[in-house]
Homo-oligomer: A and B are copies of this chain.
Amino acid sequence: MLLVQKYGGTSVGTLERIEVVAQRVKKTKDEGNDVVVVVSAMSGETNKLIDYAHHFSKNPRKRELDMLLSAGERVTSSLLSIALNELGCEAIAFSGRQAGMHTDSFHTKAKIESINPKLIKEAISQGKVVVVAGFQGINEKDEVTTLGRGGSDLSAVALAGALKADLCEIFTDVDGVYTTDPRIEPKARKLDKVTYDEMLELASLGAKVLQNRSVELAKKLNINLVTRSSFNNHEGTLITGEKKMESAIISGIALDRNQAIVSVRNVDDKPGVAAKIFEVLSKEEINVDMIIQNIGSDGVANIGFTVPENELDRALEALKELDSSFVIDSNKEVVKVSIVGIGMKSNSGIASKAFSVMSENGINIQMISTSEIRISVIVNEKYGELAVRALHEAYELDK
């Protein structure tokens, strides 16, 4: 098998941890696999470098910031290679450039454009483990770029695609994807398998195992992803294409606390008025999620929508541009609870069960939105954890 293994910041957070990772990589190689390793910076390093840059400038030049930040992953890849060689496991360290990672020129949030894995393939054919500095590439001017948050995961998935790897393993400090947050529901169970689409819904809803960009790319490239812990030998969670028919209807319950409701009342029910509200918000790059519009009999409408709580202040500021006759309210004391499962597509009654569970527990639903594989409800934040536990039990996720 050809494996791409990615080790995140906490997995390589100390010299002792790098030694542990080296042993794991060697073991994988000794079992007869070809291995390409992608590493992050040692945990804390990237933040330290960002702090350094901010010592000089609130808004450091992004080209230089990328060159600065790329140093962290280069250090880890060199050290891991040195550790592997010492264990008698031939290894070679590659920068993003040497790994053939070509990106566009949007420094600090570059997109991968193409990968030329010539040097990696050469090294693999020589029996070497290749250790790639994640998170970084070069643009057409041969300047260092970085891929933004979760960039090393993205490097790993993209390399797995370019190399037609059999598997891409993402090592972190958690065992995999859970039916819900174990800190809320101790009976939460690790999932053996989820689909890309389920993972996308779960990730965007607060199960922070993998960034959406990486899952989207894995889906696009049809790469089997495994997320697992580098701190033990437990099997992780496989993230893959469509599951078999017999799989569970519901995979997990997610809780997203970063939610706020904005309601705009006294809006004239005329074409274009609602559009204007969302235009103002979009100009400020504020992510509007659920939207509800009620039209009253008196010809005025009330529009309610949710935004991330940490974008609320900016949203309210932006809305000041609007007609001053609007009455604008907001409420931070809400959370979003979501039920995610590929099986929903072919099963009716999922939503009605959710609503009766909520009602039995006296939880008032303030807003609802659904996708093909997800039902989300906005509830008062004090009921958030109760809702999660009740739904987890109702759908028998602990079994």
A residues contacting B by CB (< 8 A) are 15, 18-19, 22, 49, 52-53, 55-57, 60-61, 63-65, 67-68, 70-72, 74-75, 77-79, 81-83, 85-86, 91-93, 95, 98, 142-144
Contact = CB atoms under 8 A, between A and B. Distances in A.
Nearest to A75: B71
A95 to B, nearest CB: 7
Q: Work out how many copies of this chain go into the complex.
A: 2
Given A61-B85, A68-B74, A74-B71, A79 B53 contact: yes
Contact of A56 (B49, B60, B70, B86): B86
B95 A82 contact: no
B82 A64 contact: yes
A222 to B, nearest CB: 32
Given A52-B15, A56-B19, A77 B86 contact: no
A15 B49 CA distance: 11
Nearest to A54: B82
A18 B86 CA distance: 37
Given A52-B79, A79-B52, A98-B142, A67 B74 contact: yes
B15 A56 contact: yes
B75 A93 contact: no
A56 B83 contact: yes
A52 B77 CA distance: 12
Contacts of A91: 64
B98 A82 contact: no
Given A19-B56, A56-B15, A75 B68 contact: yes
Contacts of A70: 74
Contacts of A74: 67-68, 70-71, 74
A55 B63 CA distance: 33
